Amino acid sequence: MESPPVSPALDRASAQVRLSQGLTPWLVLGSVASVSLALTGVSVGSVPRVGAGFSWLGLPRSGSSVLTLLFYVALCLMVTAWLGVGREARLGNLTVTRACLVLAAWGLPLFLGPPLFSRDLYSYIAQGLVAHHGLNPYTTGPVALGNGPLLRSVALVWRATPAPYGPLFVAASRGLAALFGSALVAEVLAMRVLELVGVALMVYSLPRLARMLGADPGIALWLGVLSPLALYSFISSGHNDALMLGLLLTGITVSLERRPMLGLVLCALATMVKTPAAAGIVFLAANQLSGVRGSKRWAVLAKAVLVPAATVVIVTMASGLGWQWLSPSALRIPTELRILATPTVSIGVLVFHVLHLVGIPVHQHACVTVTQLVCGVAGVAGVAWLIANVRKLDVVRAIGIALIVVVLVGPTLWPWYFTWGLALLAATPAQRSKTLALAAALAMFIVGPSGTPLIGGIDYIFVALASFAAGQWLLRNRRWMKVIGPRRPVPLTS
């Protein structure tokens, strides 16, 4: 006997069940890992330094070294779960709805748990309180608040440092300080809510941008929002990079959807969170200029300059924080700390030791400074080349590469800086690059759960040699562009 025909509706339902079954084990594994990270993080993470007897949401602290081991086991489980979801995404099984479900399941424990891998959240809170008390956060550091739990929770190197962020973010921090005062746990959760606004904008813009560029929306979210690097940076650490990237990606998206004015406004707002987002304004303007000829170029140029400038003026004046956020001293603050995880620092230290071995008396500080200057000039040249070739590469890919270049040749590198370029490239054909996936999975291992850099001692040798090798490969191998995927057409803006 012939079996009865299966209805199309039943066949689709069966396919949905199979897809769910493929994703469910990784969803569960990642949820277990996320809960474990939150629980162990109470003891080994970047918890507030309130004093003896402090508990995070009722969870007591413990000094057991076993918890550190369990923390790293949970980290490995999270990476495994993420790679498992990535396999499903590459098979086309990760829809935007499913990606949001994974984000909620993995992100909620991290949102409720203590900060991990960084103490920057406490700096944000302190800067908001400084502004709330009527002081200028661009000239006054958290130390002005006086000794107490908040100041002790701020990383020692940043306690006397003024705010290096734009007035939009500092004004938002001031508003949260007015609502929650110095209630540390409440402030941390409120700051995370602010960063979730950026995550929501990324969830909105990444799939749209991916479809526009011929890439997979599910993989875009997998790499840009669901990766261990993104989860820890945006949700657990609560870095304002999330808000910056959310505004930047949305600005780029609406600009390529033929709303260039709104796109420039959003990119300007992103710049007033963190200044690297200004790359979006420059590259979008270059992309628009390359698509027009004759007298229209002057009109496009005028809009590209006046719209962001007007946005910056209006928001800065409305914040009441003044213009010192654009002063050289404020812009230099993020570059003042030199850590060996930074390629330019490691190369400079290696050069110093080599020169000493051959009997040339130089100071290590001078070697690092010169190395950073040379690498900085090379980076500027590279970014200028990307601007000149923005049409050949496509604007989204060009911005992503430029941000990665800025991070790699910059004077200070923290793992969450990699999210700048990764988030952009996640929406392009580069999303299938194994190099990008490796960085998204493992970059946060550069720092410990309490926020302390783990690269030290003679590790600079390995960082420097790896940087040299990568630089040589980029210079000699003309096929390097294939690593980030083939070019896809990008809609012209008017």
Q: Which residue has the tokens 């570059």?
A: 335
Nearest Cα neighbor of 195 from 228, 243, 233 is 243
Q: List, for residues 454-477, the tens digit of each pLDDT value.
A: 888 888 888 888 888 877 777 676
Residue 8: band (very low, low, confident or very high) from pLDDT cuts 50, 70, 90: low
pLDDT at residue 17, as a whole number = 47
pTM of the model: 0.90
CB-based contact 168:133 (threshold 8 Å): no
Backbone torsions φ then ψ of 272, nearest 5 degrees: -85, 10
Query: What is the CB neighbour count within 10 angstroms for residue 466?
Result: 12
Task: Return the higher-pLDDT residue of 75 and 494.
Answer: 75
Backbone torsions φ then ψ of 56, nearest 5 degrees: -95, 110
pLDDT at residue 477, as a whole number = 65
Q: List, for residues 219-249, the tens digit of each pLDDT value.
A: 999 999 999 999 999 999 999 999 999 999 9
Residue 488: band (very low, low, confident or very high) from pLDDT cuts 50, 70, 90: low
Widest CA span in the chain: 92
Question: How far is 457 from 343, CA to CA, in rounded Å?
Answer: 15
End-to-end CA distance of the chain: 64
Question: How far is 345 from 264, CA to CA, in rounded Å?
Answer: 34
Mean pLDDT of the chain: 87
Q: Which residue has the tokens 């959310």?
A: 246
Task: Return the higher-pLDDT residue of 487 and 435.
Answer: 435
Backbone torsions φ then ψ of 456, nearest 5 degrees: -160, -175
CB-based contact 396:257 (threshold 8 Å): no
Residue 295: band (very low, low, confident or very high) from pLDDT cuts 50, 70, 90: confident
Hey, what amino acid is at 326?
L
Helix or strand run (H / E) with residue 171: helix 167-180
Question: How far is 305 from 307, CA to CA, in rounded Å?
Answer: 6
Question: How far is 222 from 211, CA to CA, in rounded Å?
Answer: 15
Q: Which residue has the tokens 């997979």?
A: 216
CB-based contact 229:219 (threshold 8 Å): no
**Crossing angle between the packed helical segments 217-224 and 418-425, to the nearest 10 degrees:** 170
Question: How far is 477 from 483, CA to CA, in rounded Å?
Answer: 11
pLDDT at residue 338, as a whole number = 82
Residue 36 has pLDDT above 50, yes or no: yes
Strand partners, 59: 56
Backbone torsions φ then ψ of 453, nearest 5 degrees: -60, 135
Residues in the chain: 494
DSSP state of 464: H
